[in-house]
């Protein structure tokens, strides 16, 4: 009887302890953020140790340049910034989903890089999938994207404005008209709203919050003969009709 009672009591203790553990999250968002910040802090000095520790041997990673890397390639890519360069990266706006032995962390990165006294800024969005294996949490897949940001505007050369004005045709019935209101240049496609063209450099313009460029190619008569809509290094060419 005493043995049976002891075995029953021990079983209840083990069961109760197991229930308490199952009710607790295996890893917290705070810990995931702490580890991610540790990875980012190791980027500028080129310290591969946190990356080696927190990435699984079979991890796959896609960076903001579109490169697909395994762990070996990722560790090789972690290298110190050149002399005269320094930088820091902050993890911001993290969100997570933690289910059993799987945790997904989504977050923004705010990067500052100083190049011989000149500050550069970039913003990224990352998503990492962590999995617990044999009690150890590691990243098995990660993806990084860079947020698009408009370039710095240049100055509109008043002497060149009139050269851009006119109508450019893609196919008959589909035109883009370039106009000027005295301060800004606008482009309007048939049946659509006007878009302001912001100068970046001579003959090169951009539109706010739209990736790509609008280029005017100078023809033999000193007037643009083509309007080129360039996105992702692919061109859509509009021919000037008047």
Coil, helix or strand at residue 117: coil
State the chain's mean pLDDT as an integer.
90
Predicted pLDDT of residue 242: 86
For β-strands 68-70 and 136-146, DSSP reports them as unpaired
Predicted pLDDT of residue 192: 93
Convert the pLDDT of each residue in 124-163 to its tens digit.
Answer: 999 999 999 999 999 999 999 999 999 999 998 888 899 9
Q: Are 209 and 193 in contact (CB under 8 A)?
A: no
> Which residue matches tokens 């199952």?
22
Q: How many CA atoms lie within 13 A of 19 on its CB side?
A: 6
Per cent of the chain over pLDDT 90 is 83
Region of 224 please: left (phi>0), alpha (psi -120 to 50) or beta. Answer: beta
Q: Are 228 and 215 in contact (CB under 8 A)?
A: yes
Torsion angle, alpha carbons of 114, 115, 118, 122, to 10: -50
Q: Are 57 and 73 in contact (CB under 8 A)?
A: no
Q: Would you say the CATH fold of 158-240 matches that of 17-146?
A: no
- Among the listed ranges 6-10, 87-91, 226-230, which one has the minimum average pLDDT value? 6-10
| Domain at 158-240, CATH from 3.10.450.50, 3.40.225.10, 2.40.128.50, 2.60.40.1260 | 2.40.128.50
Convert the pLDDT of each residue in 185-207 to its tens digit.
Answer: 999 999 899 999 999 999 999 99
Q: Report domain extents, the chain.
A: 17-146, 158-240
Convert the pLDDT of each residue in 155-189 to its tens digit.
Answer: 988 888 999 999 999 999 999 999 999 999 999 99
Q: Extract long-range pairs of 156-164: CB within 8 Å, 24+ residues apart.
A: 156/184, 156/185, 156/199, 157/199, 157/202, 160/202, 160/203, 161/185, 163/216, 163/222, 163/223, 163/224, 164/216, 164/224
Convert the pLDDT of each residue in 110-129 to its tens digit.
Answer: 999 999 999 999 999 999 99
Local confidence band at 1 (pLDDT 50, 70, 90 cut-offs):
very low
Predicted pLDDT of residue 129: 98
Q: Are 229 and 217 in contact (CB under 8 A)?
A: no
Predicted pLDDT of residue 25: 55
> Which residue matches tokens 């897949």?
141
Q: Residue 4: is its pLDDT beyond 90?
A: no
Predicted pLDDT of residue 24: 52
- In CATH, the number for domain 17-146 is 3.10.450.50
């Amino acid at each position: 009887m005493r043995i049976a009672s002891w075995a029953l009591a021990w079983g209840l203790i083990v069961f109760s302890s197991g229930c308490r553990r199952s009710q607790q999250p295996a890893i917290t968002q705070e810990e995931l953020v702490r580890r991610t910040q540790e990875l980012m802090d190791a980027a500028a000095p080129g310290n591969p140790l946190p990356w080696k520790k927190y990435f699984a041997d079979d991890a796959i990673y896609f960076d903001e340049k579109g490169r697909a890397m395994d762990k070996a390639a990722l560790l090789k890519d972690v290298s110190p910034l050149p002399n005269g360069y320094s930088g820091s990266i902050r993890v911001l706006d993290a969100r997570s989903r933690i289910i059993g032995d799987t945790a997904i962390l989504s977050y923004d990165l705010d990067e500052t890089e100083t190049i011989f006294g000149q500050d550069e800024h970039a913003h990224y969005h990352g998503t990492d999938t962590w999995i617990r294996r044999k009690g150890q949490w590691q990243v098995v897949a990660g993806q990084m994207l860079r947020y698009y940001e408009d370039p710095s505007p240049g100055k509109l050369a008043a002497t060149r404005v009139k050269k851009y004005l006119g109508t450019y045709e893609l196919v008959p019935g589909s035109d883009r008209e370039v106009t000027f209101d005295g301060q800004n240049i606008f482009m309007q496609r048939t049946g659509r709203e006007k878009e302001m063209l912001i100068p970046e450099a001579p003959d090169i313009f951009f539109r706010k919050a739209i990736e790509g460029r609008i280029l005017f190619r100078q023809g033999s008569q000193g007037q643009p003969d083509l309007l080129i809509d360039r996105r992702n290094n692919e061109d859509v060419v509009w021919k000037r009709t008047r």
